[in-house]
C-alpha cells in the first residue's frame, strides 16, 4: 500500500488530514495559499519537507487559475512570505520560498505573465519527484552506513516522531532508512516513540509501519532510555527540521534527550535529512527559532482534557541537538557525513566515499 499524504494533479491539490489519523482517512481540498497556510498552521499537514511541498503546490494551484494577473511576481512573493510564516522552525518552506522567488524574478525578465506562471508551476511540480528521489537516496545511504558496522546480522532501530510518507512527498527520511533496511531484509525491528503531545509516533509512524508490515514496537517517550539499554538498539535515526552549519539540528521535541541517552549507551545517533532541510546561513543551533505550540495540544487529546484545569504549560514543538551528540552522522541524499563535514558536503567540496 502506498500512503499518499499529498494528492496533486494540475490545478487540484488534496492533503490527507493527519489530525484525524489513524481512525479516519479523510482528504481536505486545498484551493488556495490561505487553505495551505491554515492546514500547515493547524498541522493537518506536517513534516518539514511536506510543509514546503504543500505550500508551494497551493501556489501552483492558484497560478494555474490565473492568480496574480499581470503581476504574478508580486503575488508569488506575498504568497511565499505568508506560507513561510505558518511554522518558523522547519527550514524547507523558507528555503523553497527563497529559491522559487529568485527563479521567478529571473524568469520574469524574459517571459510574459502567462509564460511565467507556467514556468513557476513546472518548478514547483518538480519538487514532488525530487523529494521522493532524495528520500530513496537517504534511505539507501543510511541503510548501507548502519549495516557497514553490522556485516551479517539484522539491525534494530529506534526512531522518533514521524519522518515517513506522511512527512514528505513519499518514502520518508529517517523512516526511509528503516524502509530501506526492511527492503534489504536486514531490519529486525524498529522501536517508535509515541512522541507527545501530537503523537506523531503512535498515530502516524505506527500507521505507516502496520500498513506496510514493517516490524515495529510502539513505546512511550519515557521508555526510550530503558529501550536503548534493554533492546540491543543498533542505531537511533531521527529526522530534522533544520540542520545548521555546524551540524546542530532542530527536530521534534524529545530528540535532544534521545541523543543524550544514545551517547550514554554508546549507540550511534543519526540525523536523516535532505539538503532542503539544511540551513548554512545559521552558524549554530542557538540561532534557530523554536516554535511554541498552543497549550491545548498538551492538555487535551481530541478535545478531551487530560491535565488539571488551570495548570500552566510550556509546549515547544522542537528542541536542538548539539552536533557533538550526532555521533553516527548526518544522512543526506549526497551521502552520510559527520557534522564537521556537512558544509563541505553541501557546497560540493566533499563527496561521499
Q: How far is the CB of 308 from ligand LNRAV4D5 (least distance, A)?
A: 25
Is position 332 an interface residue for ligand LNRAV4D5 (rule: CB under 6 A)? no
Q: Given the complex with ligand LNRAV4D5, which of 68 and 274 has the nearer CB atom? A: 274
Furthest-apart CA pair in the chain: how many Å?
A: 64
Q: Does 17 bind ligand LNRAV4D5 (CB under 6 A)?
A: no
What does the radius of gyration of the chain's CA atoms come to, in whole angstroms? 20
**Applying CB under 6 A, does 193 fall inside the site for ligand LNRAV4D5?**
no
Residues 231-250 that bind ligand LNRAV4D5 (CB under 6 A): 239, 241
- Residues 6 or more apart whose Cβ sits within 8 Å of residue 258: 158, 160, 193, 224, 236, 238, 269
**Which of 326, 254, 260, 317 has the alpha carbon at shortest distance from 288?**
317
Report in angstroms how near the CB of residue 251 gets to ligand LNRAV4D5 at its nearest.
5
- By CB under 6 A, tell whether 47 contacts ligand LNRAV4D5: yes
155-159 and 235-238 as β-strands: parallel, antiparallel, unpaired? parallel
Give the 3-state secondary structure percentages of the chain, helix then strand then coil, rounded to 5: 45, 20, 40
Assess 189 for contact with ligand LNRAV4D5 (CB under 6 A): no
For ligand LNRAV4D5, the binding residue among 15, 30, 48, 258 (CB under 6 A) is: 48
Nearest to 63 by CA among 127, 103, 129, 119: 119
Stretch of residues binding ligand LNRAV4D5 (CB under 6 A), selected from 29-37, 121-129, 141-149, 161-169 = 161-169
Identify which of residues 76 and 209 has a Cβ nearer to ligand LNRAV4D5 in the complex. 209
Go through the chain and tell me how many residues it has.
Answer: 353
CB of 278 to ligand LNRAV4D5, least distance (A): 12
Pick the binder of ligand LNRAV4D5 from 108, 159, 180, 200 (CB under 6 A): 200
Rounded to whole angstroms, how far apart are CA atoms 192 and 158? 6
Using the rule CB under 6 A, which residue among 16, 116, 161, 192 binds ligand LNRAV4D5?
161
Residue number, 168 or 180, with CB nearest to ligand LNRAV4D5: 168
Of residues 39, 63, 224, 317, which one binds ligand LNRAV4D5 by CB under 6 A?
A: 317
Residue with cell 551479517: 152
Instruction: Please choose, from the candidates 17, 1, 6, 105, the residue with its C-alpha nearest in 3D space to the C-alpha of residue 49.
Output: 6
- In the bound state, the residue with its beta carbon closest to ligand LNRAV4D5 is 239
Q: Tell me if 167 contacts ligand LNRAV4D5 by CB under 6 A.
A: yes
Number of helices (H) and strands (E), helices first, in the chain? Answer: 12, 16
Closer Cβ to ligand LNRAV4D5, 56 or 317, answer by number: 317
Quick one: cell of 278? Answer: 539544511
**Does 40 interact with ligand LNRAV4D5 (rule: CB under 6 A)?**
no
Give the integer Cα–Cα distance in Å for 96 and 270: 25
Q: What are the backbone dihedrals phi and psi of residue 119, each rounded to the nearest 5 degrees, phi first?
A: -65, -40
Annotated catalytic residue within 35, 134, 221, 241: 241
Nearer to ligand LNRAV4D5, 241 or 333 (CB): 241
- Specify whether 248 is catalytic: no
Identify whether the C-beta of residue 297 lies closer than 8 Å to the C-beta of residue 197: yes
Residue closer to ligand LNRAV4D5 by CB (options 63, 214) is: 214
Q: What CA–CA distance (Å, rounded) separates 143 from 270? A: 11
* Separation of alpha carbons 28 and 26, rounded Å: 7
Q: What angle do CA 208, 239, 294 make, to 5 degrees?
A: 85
Q: Does 159 participate in binding ligand LNRAV4D5 (rule CB under 6 A)?
A: no
Residues tagged active-site = 241
Q: Which residues would be at the binding site for ligand LNRAV4D5 (CB under 6 A)?
A: 46-49, 161, 163, 167-168, 173, 200, 239, 241, 251-252, 317
Amino acid at each position: 500500500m502506498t500512503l499518499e499524504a499529498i494528492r496533486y494533479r494540475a490545478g487540484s491539490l488534496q492533503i490527507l488530514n493527519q489530525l484525524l489519523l489513524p481512525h479516519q482517512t479523510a482528504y481536505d481540498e486545498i484551493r488556495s495559499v490561505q487553505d495551505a497556510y491554515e492546514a500547515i498552521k493547524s498541522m493537518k499537514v506536517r513534516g518539514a519537507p511536506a510543509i514546503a511541498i504543500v505550500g508551494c503546490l497551493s501556489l501552483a494551484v492558484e497560478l494555474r487559475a490565473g492568480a496574480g494577473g499581470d503581476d504574478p511576481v508580486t503575488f508569488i512573493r506575498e504568497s511565499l512570505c505568508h506560507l513561510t510564516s505558518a511554522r518558523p522552525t522547519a527550514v524547507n518552506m523558507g528555503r523553497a520560498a527563497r529559491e522559487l522567488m529568485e527563479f521567478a524574478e529571473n524568469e520574469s525578465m524574459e517571459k510574459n505573465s502567462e509564460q511565467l506562471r507556467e514556468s513557476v508551476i513546472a518548478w514547483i511540480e518538480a519538487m514532488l519527484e525530487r523529494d521522493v528521489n532524495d528520500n530513496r537516496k537517504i534511505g539507501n545511504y543510511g541503510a548501507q552506513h548502519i549495516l557497514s558496522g553490522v556485516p551479517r546480522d539484522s539491525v534494530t532501530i529506534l526512531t522518533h516522531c514521524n519522518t515517513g510518507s506522511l512527512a514528505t512527498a513519499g518514502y520518508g527520511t529517517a523512516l526511509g532508512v528503516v524502509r530501506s533496511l526492511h527492503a534489504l531484509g536486514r531490519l529486525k525491528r524498529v522501536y517508535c516513540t509515541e512522541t507527545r503531545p501530537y503523537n506523531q509516533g503512535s498515530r502516524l509512524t505506527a500507521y505507516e509501519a502496520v500498513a506496510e508490515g514493517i516490524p515495529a514496537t510502539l513505546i512511550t517517550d519515557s521508555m526510550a532510555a530503558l529501550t536503548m539499554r534493554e533492546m540491543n538498539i543498533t542505531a537511533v535515526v531521527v529526522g530534522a527540521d533544520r540542520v545548521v552549519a555546524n551540524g546542530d539540528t532542530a527536530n521534534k521535541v524529545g530528540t535532544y534527550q534521545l541523543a543524550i541517552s544514545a551517547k550514554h549507551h554508546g549507540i550511534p545517533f543519526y540525523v536523516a535529512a535532505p539538503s532542503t532541510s539544511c540551513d548554512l546561513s545559521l552558524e549554530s543551533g542557538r540561532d534557530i527559532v523554536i516554535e511554541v505550540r498552543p497549550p491545548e495540544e498538551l492538555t487535551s487529546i481530541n478535545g478531551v482534557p487530560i491535565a488539571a484545569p488551570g495548570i500552566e504549560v510550556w509546549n515547544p514543538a522542537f528542541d536542538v541537538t548539539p552536533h557533538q551528540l550526532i555521533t553516527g552522522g548526518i544522512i543526506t541524499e549526497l551521502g552520510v557525513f559527520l557534522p564537521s563535514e556537512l558544509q563541505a558536503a553541501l557546497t560540493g567540496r566533499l563527496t561521499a566515499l
